[in-house]
Chains A and B, each alone.
Chain A
Amino acid sequence: GDSVTQTEGQVTVSESKSLIINCTYSATSIGYPNLFWYVRYPGEGLQLLLKVITAGQKGSSRGFEATYNKEATSFHLQKASVQESDSAVYYCALSATNMGYKLTFGTGTSLLVDP
């Protein structure tokens, strides 16, 4: 089946430092999945951070970027300079085209930004 792997369960970064959260995927039943990053801020529900539906394209939002790398089957999340308000749990996910509700989520990466 399809799967999403996030290797880091928890990441701690100092404020203003750069960040990479790793995400790789396997889409055996979907040829070209849509890729998403969802985020859960403390006290809030899950919300979409960014999505990319075309291989080779980059998505960006709130200073975060992720590039759909079909060859490496990766969709790493990056930010050049994190802020304390970025502390949250980040989930990488995939779905088939036009079926964005059938999401396969990774296990999540909890980001703590030290002030």
Chain B
Amino acid sequence: DAGVTQTPRHEVAEKGQTIILKCEPVSGHNDLFWYRQTKIQGLELLSYFRSKSLMEDGGAFKDRFKAEMLNSSFSTLKIQPTEPKDSAVYLCASSGDISNERLFFGHGTKLSVL
């Protein structure tokens, strides 16, 4: 049973680098979400796609964060250029119900920016 798959599990980047995180949602799910999770800020929504169309882009994250969904089974989150404050766990989730009240999350990618 394939859940949400995120790669890589860990990423270490130098300040100023470009990194790309990948996500494969649960097969058949129309909605895909990217979140950032930190102890201080908790869970913050970065992007929301419905049927590959960008529905929300998490306002404050527009400048250096770009999520794309090239097809229904694959999404990327690009951070360019990275800054130390971007160090966090990045979670991808998908949903198959229209109210999005049951999300399926990946393991997350732990990003460390030096």
Contacts and interface: CB of A to CB of B under 8 A. Distances in A.
Interface of A: 34, 36, 38, 43-48, 51, 53, 93, 95, 97-107
Contact of A104 (B3, B43, B99, B108): B43
A44 B100 contact: no
B42 A107 contact: yes
Contact of B31 (A45, A53, A95, A101): A101
B42 A105 contact: yes
B105 A46 contact: yes
Max count, chain A CB within 10 A of own CB: residue among B4, B95, B99, B108: B99
Contacts of B102: 48, 51, 100
B43 A45 contact: no
Given A45-B3, A46-B91, A107-B39, A34 B45 contact: no
Contacts, number: 58
Instruction: Give the interface size class of chain B.
Output: 20 to 34
Nearest to A48: B102
DSSP class of A's interface residues: helix, strand, loop or mixed?
A: loop
Nearest to B104: A47
Contacts of B95: 100-101
A100 B35 CA distance: 13
Contacts of B101: 34, 36, 51, 53, 95, 98, 100
A45 B107 CA distance: 4
Contact of A101 (B4, B39, B100, B106): B100
A100 B100 contact: yes
